[in-house]
């Protein structure tokens, strides 16, 4: 198994922060805090949830190991690398 420092170095802060930003947007998180520890990350924030009376904000905490982060980033990179299917006749004539 790959060592923690090797995984952390392979992921890099740019990819790591991009993943966190995408996650925060998808989960509608606000006022976030990220804590790095020897095995991974902890993310805390306020999640906005729409109700009939307005919005309810609740405190949420997520944690990921560096192995989970590396796997998620690799999966995302594979999805971006797929060619877009245009179907038959999709090219220029």
pLDDT in tens, 13-62: 888 899 999 999 999 999 999 999 988 899 999 998 888 999 889 999 99
Query: Encoding tokens for residue 47?
Result: 């999640």
Radius of gyration of the chain (CA): 18
Taking 70 as the threshold, does the pLDDT of residue 88 lie above it? no
- Which pLDDT belongs to residue 87? 58
Three-state secondary-structure class, residue 3: coil
Cβ proximity of 19 and 77 under 8 Å: no
pTM of the model: 0.71
Cβ proximity of 46 and 58 under 8 Å: yes
């Amino acid at each position: 198994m790959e060592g923690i420092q090797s995984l952390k170095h392979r992921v890099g802060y740019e990819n790591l922060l991009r993943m966190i930003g995408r996650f925060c947007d998808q989960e509608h998180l606000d006022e976030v805090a990220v804590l790095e520890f020897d095995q991974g990350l902890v993310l805390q924030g306020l999640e906005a949830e729409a109700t009939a009376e307005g919005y309810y904000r609740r405190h949420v905490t997520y944690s990921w190991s560096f192995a989970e982060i590396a796997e998620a980033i690799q999966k995302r990179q594979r999805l971006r690398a797929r060619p877009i299917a245009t179907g038959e006749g999709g090219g220029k004539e």
